[in-house]
Amino acid sequence: MTTRERYLTTGQAAAILHVSPKTVSAWAKQGRLPILRTLGGHRRFPEGLVRELERAMHHPGTRA
């Protein structure tokens, strides 16, 4: 059985990272966050990577 990666909206990623949605969008444009584009052109962010970044930003010295 395979598990599918869960993807977050810009707003959901911003809430987890404690930054604004505009910051998340800027990080995506800069390549700091990988994205998946929907057919409608909206950004989606892999939840696992967003949570790893949150741990790195808010809990320095811990590993995922």
Q: How much is the average pLDDT of 31-45?
A: 95
Residue 64 belongs to some domain of the structure: no
Residue 36 belongs to some domain of the structure: yes
Residue 1 belongs to some domain of the structure: no
pLDDT confidence of 2, banded at 50, 70, 90?
low
Q: How much is the average pLDDT of 1-6?
A: 74
Q: What is the pLDDT of residues 4-13, one digit of tens each?
A: 889 999 999 9
Length of the chain: 64
For residue 7, list its beta bridge partners: 46
**Number of domains forming the structure of the chain:** 1
Structural domain range at position 43: 7-58
Q: How much is the average pLDDT of 16-23?
A: 97
Can you point out the beta strands (E) in the chain?
7-8, 36-37, 43-46
- Spatial CB neighbours of 53, under 8 Å, sequence gap ≥ 6: 17, 33
Q: What is the pLDDT of residues 42-60, one digit of tens each?
A: 999 999 999 999 999 887 6
- We report the CATH number of the domain holding residue 12 as 1.10.1660.10
